[in-house]
Amino acid sequence: MMVDAPKINQGLEGIYFTESGICKVDGINGRLYYYGYSIETLAENSNFEEVCYLLLNGKLPKKSELSAFRKNLASERELPEEVIMMIKRASKKANAMDILRSAVSMLSFFDEDSGDNSEAANMRKSVRLISQIASVTAATGRAKAGKAYVEPDPKMNHVENFLYMLNGAKPEPDHVKILDTMFLLHAEHSSNASTFSGIVTASTLSDMHSAITSAIGTLKGPLHGGADEAALHMMNAIGKPENTVHYIVDALAGKKRIMGFGHRVYKTYDPRARIIKGRLEEMQNSADKEVRNLTNIALQAEKLMINKLGKSHGIWPNVDFFSGPVYTDLGIEDYLFTPIFAASRIPGWAAHIMEYLKGNRLIRPLEYYDGAIGKKYVPIKER
C-alpha cells in the first residue's frame, strides 16, 4: 500500500516547535520586541548590560539589581591562562570563529558548574559566558594582530572593557556608545538558526557550554552570522560609489546573491537595519574617507535594491548589511565581525536554552525516506 508523501517544509520554514515569551519578531510590519519592549525603545534608552539582565531574568532591573549584575559580569571577564595560550597559538592560522568555538569548549574545563544542569548553575554559566566570550573575541583580535593580551578592567562597563581589551587603550565615549548599540541590536532574535541549534543540543540534556558551542558553529556560516563580513567584502569589491549601480545590476543579472539583503522572517525593512542606518548617517561627518566611501556604497546599494526588488519581492536590507561600515569605523577587522555577533547574541542564546529546559522535550524531527527498499546484497568479490 502506497503512503502519500507528507508535506516537507524545507529548512523547517513556517514550523513552530515551542512557545516563548522572550522575543517577538513581527516580520510583516518590521517590528522586534525583547520581552515586549520594542527594539527602538531599547536602542534609544537602554544599554547592552541592562538588556542582558532583561533577557536572562525576564524583567528590567532595579538600580541595585543592575549594579550587582554589572559587578558580576566584570568579575567573570578573566580567561584561564590555558585558554589564552590556545588563542595565541591558534591565531596564526585558524579562523576567528573556530578559535571562539574551541575556547568555549575549553572554558568548560575550568568552570566549577560545568556538570551542573540546574537552573541556578545555568544562570551562573550564562553570565560567565557573556563576559568570557567578549574576552575571547578581544584576545583573538590582539593575537591575530601580533599584540599582547590585555587584562580586563573591572571598572569599565562591558562594551567599554571589550574595546579596551581589543585596542589596549581607553576607548572614546562615542565609540563605546555605538558599539553598545550594535551589541544590543544583536542580543536576541527569536528562534534563528544558531539559537535553534543551541536549543537542540540542550534538549538532549547536554550542558550549557556544549549548547553554546553548537550555536557558535551554526553562527559561523555566511547565511547567518557571517553575512556582515560577506556584505563588507562586496562593498570593497565595488570599490567606489560610482561603481555601485553597475555592480548590483550585473550581480542581479547573473542571479548572484547580494549579501545583507533579504531575511527569512522580515518581509519589510529590518528594524535593526533602520537603526544602524541612522547611526551610519550620523557618522558621515566624522568618519574617515574609507568609511565615508563604504557608507556611500551601502546607501546607494540599499536604494537601488529597494527600487528594483524591494517593494515587489520583499528584498530589504537586514541587520548585517550596514554593520560592516560601522565596525570598520571603529577600527575592527572584518574577521572579528562574526565573533562580535556571538559576543552580542550569547544572552539570547542562554535565555532560550534556559527557557526551553523548563519544559524540556528532546527535539527529534522526522524525515521522509524516498529511497529504495529491499536491495539485494552483492558480495564484494562479485561487484
The residues that bridge with 278 in the sheet, in sequence order, are none
DSSP at 7? P
DSSP 8-state class, residue 362: -
What stretches of the chain adopt beta strand conformation (E)?
A: 23-26, 31-34, 37-38
CA 349 to chain centre: 10
The answer for residues whose C-beta is within 8 angstroms of residue 271's C-beta and 6 or more apart is 30, 31, 32, 39, 40
Exactly one of 180, 207, 320, 329 is catalytic; which is it? 320
Round to whole Å and give the CA distance between 330 and 172: 10
Residue length of the chain: 383
Q: Which residue, chain included where needed, has cell 547573473? A: 254
Residues paired with residue 50 on neighbouring β-strands, in sequence order: none
* Residue 262 backbone zone (phi > 0: left; psi -120 to 50: alpha; other: beta): left
C-alpha–C-alpha distance, residues 315 and 261, integer Å: 6
Please give the Cα distance from 328 to 62 (Å, whole number): 35
4 carries an active-site annotation: no
Q: Please, are residues 110 and 98 in contact by the beta-carbon 8 Å criterion? A: no
Q: Which of 26, 153, 224, 334 is catalytic?
A: 224
Exposure letters 322-340 (e unless 16+ CB within 10 A, then b):
bbbbbbbbbebebebbbbb
Residue with grid cell 547580494, as numbered in its chain: 258
Instruction: Based on the residue annotation, tell me whether 263 is a catalytic residue of this protein.
Output: yes
Lookup: cell for 117: 544542569
Marked catalytic residue, from 263, 270, 329, 352: 263
Separation of alpha carbons 80 and 77, rounded Å? 10
Written as one letter, the residue type at 85 is M
224 labelled catalytic: yes
Catalytic residues: 224, 263, 320
